[in-house]
Amino acid sequence: MITIRNLTVKFNDKIILDNISMGIGKGEFVGILGPNGAGKTTLIKTILGLIKPSNGTITIDNKSISEYMNRKSNLIGYLPQHAIVNWNMPIRVIDAVMIENIKPFGLFRKYKKDEIESAKYWLELFGVGDRMYSYIKELSGGQQQRVSLARCMIHNPELLILDEPNTAIDAVYNTKLYEILKELSIKNRMTIIMVSHDIGAVTKYVDEVMCLNVKLHCHSKANKINFSTVLREVYGDDMEVVIHGDGCKNCALNRGNK
């Protein structure tokens, strides 16, 4: 679905992404890992056409990003790393979810039945269905993040791009979130690109892992990655890789403490 060829991005002559080439198939769930400043957000923004590359090409379904988006609006759901919502605005959760549907002077129009149904569905899926008519400023940070996720989904996008969706989300719900994303990629054949620092979980749920640090250090099936080598290469020698499994003493100790 997405083909990236020889992509180089520079800011003020500094190379941020260096000659990246890769492909992402339809319905694939891809996790992007890499340390702070590795260029993960830059890569995502370049795919979205928000940053112009110095070199190389990106196509989605063999089209440039603008041609792809002109085909039909709302083909892409995007959750930025930093929320662009002003959470102090005096609007309700349902208005925040619908924000891209709202035409000028339309803020106080009544929503159509199917729009409300759709908002309800996604808010319930993300565990905040009961807050649909609350003011957004009354929600906790994690609840606001779930509303942002629902906003990305409202048009059932073909391509979902999430830049650190787990920010402010608690550990229990994190697992649920990954399960939801995995199911969307399988059942709805939604292509999902997710940046996360949650290495263990990412590799457990995604189909493909990309390890990025200016260069693309690896792009392969999660179960085929040699973690010790690749993660040390990407994160540096201070990275200690501990594989947890049935025989893990610490896991057994933790279980015993509960």
**Binding flag, residue 236, ligand ATP (CB under 6 A):** no
For residues 149 and 190, is the Cβ–Cβ distance under 8 A? no
Look up residue 190 and give its DSSP letter: -
In the bound state with ligand ATP, the residue whose beta carbon lies nearer, of 39 and 165, is 39
Which residues are paired to 59 by β-bridges?
A: 3
- Cα–Cα distance between 9 and 67 in angstroms, integer? 21
- Cα–Cα distance between 3 and 158 in angstroms, integer? 15
**Binding flag, residue 134, ligand ATP (CB under 6 A):** no
**Binding flag, residue 188, Mg ion (CB under 5 A):** no
**Smallest distance, ligand ATP to C-beta of residue 94, A:** 30
Among 81, 101, 174, 175, binds ligand ATP (CB under 6 A): 81
**Smallest distance, Mg ion to C-beta of residue 38, A:** 8
**Binding flag, residue 217, ligand ATP (CB under 6 A):** no
What is the strand order of the sheet 14-24 is part of?
Answer: 14-24, 2-11, 55-60
Segment interacting with ligand ATP, rule: CB under 6 A, options 33-41, 55-63, 94-102, 147-155 = 33-41
Closest CA to 159 of 245, 244, 71: 71
- Which spans of this chain sit near ligand ATP (rule: CB under 6 A)? 11, 16, 34, 36-42, 81
